[in-house]
Amino acid sequence: MNFKTLDDMDLAGKVVLTRVDINVPVEDGHVTDTTRIDRILPTLRDIQAAGGKVVMLAHFGRPKGKVVPEMSLRQVVPALSQALGQDVAFIERPDRATIDATDGPILIENTRFSPMEEANDPMMSKFLASLGDVYCNDAFSAAHRAHASTEGIAHLLPACAGRSMEAELKALEAALGKPKPPVAAVVGGAKVSSKLDLLGNLVGKVQHLIIGGGMANTFLAAQGVDVQKSLCEHDLLDTARQITAKAEAAGCAILLPNDVVVAKEFRADPPTQTVKADEVPAGYMILDAGPDSVAHIKTVLDGCATLVWNGPLGAFEMTPFDAATVAAARHAAELTKAGKLISVAGGGDTVSALNHAGVATDFTYISTAGGAFLEWMEGKVLPGVAALSDH
């Protein structure tokens, strides 16, 4: 994965068009969570320290090519200015504005207000490129979209990755690009159907595939286990068998729960039983992996050098069905802190689960990129990344 970073660029006196992700939650016109803003600050500050002028490009929501006042980036400017510690100017119509390299930082209105953005229209790419001298992409979360501000413009200017994008790409390379073996992957969640491409890609790249959540029920059922009332995609049993066969051929060991925590109701703190996976009582449903399964997972992780994690091992939103996810996550965190494991995790539920376990800051890297992270794990080419690699 070859790409330039800010360190490779001459930014002195240059206008640096910087694609950022500031698609932040807003209530009553005020930003309620500045996490995404905080993540881009190192890039903005490094550009300025190198003598460059920051002009930010970003989207907000899904206006579908129309001007939607409620999705204006103008409401993000106060939080952005406060975080950066300097006034950020806002340009509503860049086609009517003059951008001077001596001015302070600028934020341009929502790129998705134009239908040409998502169409990756060359006219919009050329217009955006005309506003600056250098292009910096610091929005990995939008890198799976071939849009004018994420892909088109990168072919028209000297292009590089921002600090957040650089960190993400290096973490992903360490996890699946050129990982240190043995590699384990934890894949959880409700449905196999949503992660078919992911599973198909991973079995050829990892030595251990740990499957949890509702997905595990489908794989258990494919082996002839009666999972009773458990969430299970019975129409995908053949698919599960095909994935298992592909894993065997590739030398990838699939780890399914050998004991499970079951209950009659899907709610917090109901009466539960811990039983062998093939002995689920009639009328019960599997809601978490059991202690023997967790012990096995820990042993596998002890013997690995790299871990990729996407999805919880059980219904972690409700106690006590968070136990397996929390225990495995904390063990991975301990191995990481001890320098024994490179751990990379991503996906919405995954981030929530690791925060719940109190270990989000202990993993080597946690991606908040959602769709882009998942598509990367599926082995797909991300247009925004590929465009940087072309330089």
CATH of the domain at 176: 3.40.50.1260
Are 176 and 316 in the same domain? yes
Q: Which of 104, 200, 370, 371 is catalytic?
A: 371
- Binding-site sequence positions: 21-23, 36, 59-62, 112, 145, 195, 317, 347-350
- Binding-site sequence positions for substrate: 21-23, 36, 59-62, 112, 145
Q: Which pTM does this prediction carry?
A: 0.88
CA 218 – CA 205 distance, rounded (Å): 22
Cβ–Cβ under 8 Å, residues 137 and 165: yes
Q: Which of 14, 19, 36, 39 is catalytic?
A: 36
Reply yes or no on whether 348 is catalytic: yes
- Binding-site sequence positions for (2R)-3-phosphoglycerate: 36, 112, 145
Q: Which of 65, 104, 348, 370 is catalytic?
A: 348
Total count of domains within the chain: 2
Reply yes or no on whether 191 is catalytic: yes
Of 210, 160, 162, the C-alpha closest to 312 is 210
Q: Looking at the DSSP assignment, which residues form a beta bridge with residue 286? A: 262
Cβ–Cβ under 8 Å, residues 235 and 218: no
Q: Looking at the DSSP assignment, which residues form a beta bridge with residue 306? A: 183, 342
Reply yes or no on whether 340 is catalytic: no
Are 353 and 330 in the same domain? yes
Residue 188 inside a domain? The answer is yes
Q: Which of 191, 264, 337, 340 is catalytic?
A: 191
Concatenated DSSP letters for 134-168? EEEE--GGGTTS--IIIIIGGGTS-EEE-HHHHHH
Q: Looking at the DSSP assignment, which residues form a beta bridge with residue 308? A: 185, 344
Q: Count other C-beta atoms under 10 Å from residue 361's C-beta.
A: 9
Using the Cα atoms of residue 202, residue 207, residue 212 and residue 217 in order, give the sign of their dihedral. Answer: positive
Q: 45: domain range?
A: 6-164+382-389
Reply yes or no on whether 180 is catalytic: no
Q: What is the chain's pLDDT, residue by residue, as a tens digit (391 residues)?
A: 689 999 999 999 999 999 999 999 999 989 999 989 999 999 999 999 999 999 999 999 999 999 999 999 999 999 999 999 999 999 999 988 888 767 789 999 999 999 999 999 999 999 999 999 999 999 999 999 999 999 999 999 999 999 999 999 999 998 988 899 999 999 998 888 989 899 999 999 999 999 999 999 999 999 999 999 999 999 999 999 999 999 999 999 999 999 999 999 999 999 999 999 999 999 999 999 999 999 999 999 999 999 999 999 999 999 999 999 999 999 999 999 999 999 999 987 898 999 999 999 999 999 988 888 888 888 898 999 999 986 6
- Binding-site sequence positions for ATP: 195, 317, 347-350
Q: Which amino acid is at 143?
A: A
SS3 for 108? strand
CA 294 – CA 227 distance, rounded (Å): 19
Are 153 and 177 in the same domain? no
